[in-house]
Structure 1
Amino acid sequence: MGILTDTTHLHITTWVVAVILFLVAAFMQRDSKGRKIVHMVLRLFYVLIIITGLALFIEWSSSDPMTYGIKFLLGLLTIGMMEMVLIRSKKQKPVTMFWALFVLFLLATMFIGFMLPVGLDFF
């Protein structure tokens, strides 16, 4: 699992690409074929984020299991809010609350992720 756990570069790359794809899909026309394609590619990136995050969790969580567990949960909640925004907007239902939760969970996930020992040293 060396390529998945030696550094966080692969994990960070996958979630940055996913956030960009999410924003592109969110601001495309609701019923366009392009949005469906971007949404399916985004779902592939959800899987890649979970795989790389799980590999990092398994490798590094012994040093601080609670913080890594909270970060993993926040990451799953972030992915859930991304999916809720796209699905509910397609059905023309209100998404303001899910946008707010997405931003909140994304910022919390990033904050905790950067504080972890394997994360980048910003703080």
Structure 2
Amino acid sequence: MDVLANTTHFHIFTWVVGIIIFIVAAGLDSRSKGRKIAHMIARLFYVLILLSGFMLFMKYSGGDAALYGVKFLLGLLTIGMMEMVLVRSAKEKSVKVVWILFFVFLLATLFLGFKLPVGIAWFA
């Protein structure tokens, strides 16, 4: 598993695919079998995102543990909002606020992730 923790490639792949599957699942009819399947695949990618992120956190948090900890927390909140959107919409409850929180947490996570030394230096 050390191969996966040496670079961010696997982690970026998992969150990109996870977000795509989440958006597909959110766009499907809440009572369809396809949505349930897409939701379960999204949950698998949530686990992969958390595992790869945790491996990166353990490897690189020695440099700036506070910022990496905040990014890890923001990532958890982003995944939590993704799950809440799918579950609340399946129960036909309002998801407007949860969508807004998802986008806020996602943008904050991406900004901090790209700003940290292991990330891509787009905001340098």
Class of the TM-score when normalised by the shorter of the 2 chains: over 0.9
Q: Residue type matched to 1:34 in 2? A: G
Q: Which residue of structure 2 aligns with residue 30 of structure 1? A: 30
Q: Residue type matched to 1:31 in 2? A: R
Runs of 4+ in 1 over 6 A off after TM superposition: none
TM-fit CA distance, 1:6: 1.4
Q: Which residue of structure 1 aligns with residue 86 of structure 2? A: 86
Deviations 1:39-96 (A, max 9, x none): 0000000000000000000000000000000000000000000000000000000000
Structure 1 residue runs of 5 or longer lacking an equivalent are none
TM-fit CA distance, 1:2: 2.8
Q: Which residue of structure 1 aligns with residue 52 of structure 2? A: 52
Counterpart CA distance in 2 for 1:98 and 1:92 is 13
Counterpart CA distance in 2 for 1:61 and 1:5 is 12
Cα RMSD (Å): 0.6
Counterpart CA distance in 1 for 2:7 and 2:25 is 29
Secondary structure at 1:63's aligned position in 2? coil
Q: Residue type matched to 2:19 in 1? A: V
Identity %: 61
Size of the alignment, in residue pairs?
A: 123
Q: TM-score, normalised by structure 1?
A: 0.98
Counterpart CA distance in 2 for 1:3 and 1:68 is 20
Counterpart CA distance in 1 for 2:87 and 2:44 is 16
Counterpart CA distance in 2 for 1:110 and 1:67 is 13
Counterpart CA distance in 1 for 2:111 and 2:10 is 18
